[in-house]
Chain A
Amino acid sequence: MSNFAITGNVRIRRILIRAAFILFMLILAVFLFFGGKAHTLLLDNKTIEKEGKIYRELNVVEVRIGSGKEEELLKKDRVKIDVSGQRQVITVTFPGDDGNEKIIKKTFHLKAGVPMYLISIPAFIAGADGWIEPFEPSN
């Protein structure tokens, strides 16, 4: 109807706004996809050997992922933690060589395509490269 005639300018503006809205929704969807993607982290406190080096297990260590619950790992413990999102922060509290408590905090990224990771705490504390690795459940 005549009172709803849309002039060229308005039309272009609307097309742009709508396109932007759809784009926004897509970006939002992508953000939600990566942000909500769940991963399983296996926290491992075992002696392992990597590239010829041996990382010894700790007697006791406290690990926290993001703002989650603090997990206390004793010798040979393996704990499963579910997290969502790609960017994660790991906080490890352990008794240092000098007897004092030491805290190491580190940010790391998870790949969307990998559902499960194995984190070796001894390797982490030692600052080794391969402290986090994708994990394939064998069954």
Chain B
Amino acid sequence: MKDKSPLLEMRNISKDFFGNSVLKDVSFKLEKGEILGLVGENGAGKTTLMKILFGMTVIRDTGGYSGEIFLEGKPVSYKTPFEALDDGIGMVHQEFSLLPGFTAAENILLNRESTKNNFMTELFGDRMKNLDRKDMRKRALKAIGKVGVQLHEDMLISDMPVGHKQFTEIARELEKDNIKLLVLDEPTAVLAESEAEILLKSMKKLSSEGISIIFISHRLREIINITDKILILRDGRIIQEKPTSSTNISEIAEAMVGRELEVSKREDVRVFDRTFLSVSRLWVNMPGETVRDVSFDVNEGEIFGIGGLAGQGKLGIPNGIMGLFPGGGEIILDGKKIGLNSPRIALDSGMAFVSEDRRDVGLLLDEPLDWNISFTAMQVQNKFLKPIFGNLIKWRDEKAIQNAAKGFIDALEIKCTGYSQKAQELSGGNQQKICLAKAFIVEPRVLFVSEPTRGIDVGAKKIVLDTLIKNNREKGTTIIMISSELEELRSVCDRIAIVDEGKIAGILPATRPAADFGLLMLGTAPVSGGAE
């Protein structure tokens, strides 16, 4: 082993998904025993970078990457994650990958169990070996010892508190005796403060034993406390690479979210006088986007933005209000209390929702466009129906549906072969326009738009945003827009609320500098002089 070469070096890594560039020329080095903090907004390229390192199949399926990776000076390029694991690179994902009915020891040694030979192995192969429970226990205890926590090796995962599950995952990686590099993706997100402390301590211990760590987190305080070096990614580029000792939280925050060019800085600050929608103490059980305690007011005619990092709960807010996920709290629209947990009630009260999940929630992929556009209006408002026999039978009015669809296809420049094309055959941008049409056709008083530009090309993006603004200005629709893209929010919205850990971290006018929002997102520093 050459001591001179760093443990890991990634050189000029670039990656694009079908022409959409997500990583551009990323290079960095990681020394033995070093802890690297990897920070960046969602979509900055952190995940893609790690996927490339691990040789996830999705990378190869989408055309591979360019650039080189060196592990201890040797060039490597993994075809599957298992090859990376064989080389001593381990990763702990944000979602637990544990078997609830197995003990900690069984999980730690999953598919690496200690075995003993018996006569059947000669006949039916190695998988007929007996498990060596004693040795497994020993090895598990050793791995748990490395993490430096109290963890009972015979405890079932299903009986464990969430922190212990996290430790089990880490112990599983450490059990591999050749482990050199550990990637931890948001490991503290699910931990209580005391548990996070323990984890950070054990990370220090590991690094002192010569194991390098890549630590992905949005908790900047933790990053500052523990890392040796911080790498900030934004839009697929390295924005800043500095030793931790020479930077600070606000610098990082600015680097993460700031743009050199303020794309379209809003000049006009609109003033509103009437509270239209009032949300208080909302909680929503949306897996991965849990909302814990959210209160905010939206004015009539306003475009209200909700931002925040992924998994913090911003998506849970519209989904909860619209009744798609169970929740509780109080919603008052135009002075009237609106019941939760029923999409019908929400729709009847004049609210509409363009979901972030186009394929599952937003569209009938197997059905034609005119159905997609008209369905909600037909079911909720009895539009596009012809009564037969008095009002006994409500017959679908195909003509009206088709005409309405044609109107929207023209107005929103939807590229398709006609209203009878199936929704799944359209591109992402055009699908999004169908979703908007579906919402506009019910003429909502309040429109929730969730991640309206996710996964669509630049041209479609502009049309979508312009359409929203136009609708707001001309029809006076109150719009609540939820987006991961801060710049997008700042260019469209009047005020922006930032959600962190299921709560509103703060609400600021869109004209405030980007760094202020960045700090709110990271949940670290309170904004000084926050004026509302």
Contacts and interface: CB of A to CB of B under 8 A. Distances in A.
| In-complex A–B contact (CB below 8 Å) | yes
Interface of A: 1-4, 6, 13-14, 17-18, 21
Interface of B: 82, 86, 111-112, 122-123, 125-126
Contact of B122 (A2, A3, A4, A17): A17
A6 B129 CA distance: 14
A6 B86 contact: no
B123 A2 contact: no
B82 A14 contact: no
B86 A2 contact: yes
Contacts of A1: 82, 111-112
Given A1-B82, A2-B86, A14 B111 contact: no
Contacts of B125: 14
B492 to A, nearest CB: 51
A18 B123 contact: yes
A13 B122 contact: yes
Q: Which 5 A-B pairs give the minimum distances between C-beta atoms?
A: A17-B122, A4-B126, A2-B86, A21-B123, A14-B122
A17 B126 CA distance: 14
Contacts of A21: 123
Given A1-B112, A13-B122, 13 more contacts: A1-B82, A1-B111, A2-B86, A3-B112, A4-B126, A6-B126, A14-B122, A14-B125, A17-B122, A17-B123, A18-B122, A18-B123, A21-B123
A18 B123 CA distance: 6
Contacts of B123: 17-18, 21
15 contacts: A1-B82, A1-B111, A1-B112, A2-B86, A3-B112, A4-B126, A6-B126, A13-B122, A14-B122, A14-B125, A17-B122, A17-B123, A18-B122, A18-B123, A21-B123
B170 to A, nearest CB: 21
A21 B120 CA distance: 11
A21 B123 CA distance: 8
A44 B126 CA distance: 60
Contacts of A13: 122
Contacts of A4: 126
Contacts of A14: 122, 125
Contacts of A18: 122-123
B338 to A, nearest CB: 55
Nearest to A16: B122
Nearest to A2: B86
Contacts of A17: 122-123
A4 B86 CA distance: 13
A17 B444 CA distance: 75
A2 B126 CA distance: 12
B129 to A, nearest CB: 9
Contacts of A3: 112
A4 B112 CA distance: 9
Contacts of B126: 4, 6
A47 B104 CA distance: 86
Contacts of A2: 86
Nearest to B121: A14
A69 B112 CA distance: 62
B310 to A, nearest CB: 33
A14 to B, nearest CB: 6
A1 B86 CA distance: 9
A21 B112 CA distance: 29
A21 B82 CA distance: 34
Nearest to B126: A4
Contacts of A6: 126
B90 to A, nearest CB: 14
B197 to A, nearest CB: 35
B181 to A, nearest CB: 17
Contacts of B111: 1
A4 B111 CA distance: 10
Nearest to B113: A3
B119 to A, nearest CB: 10
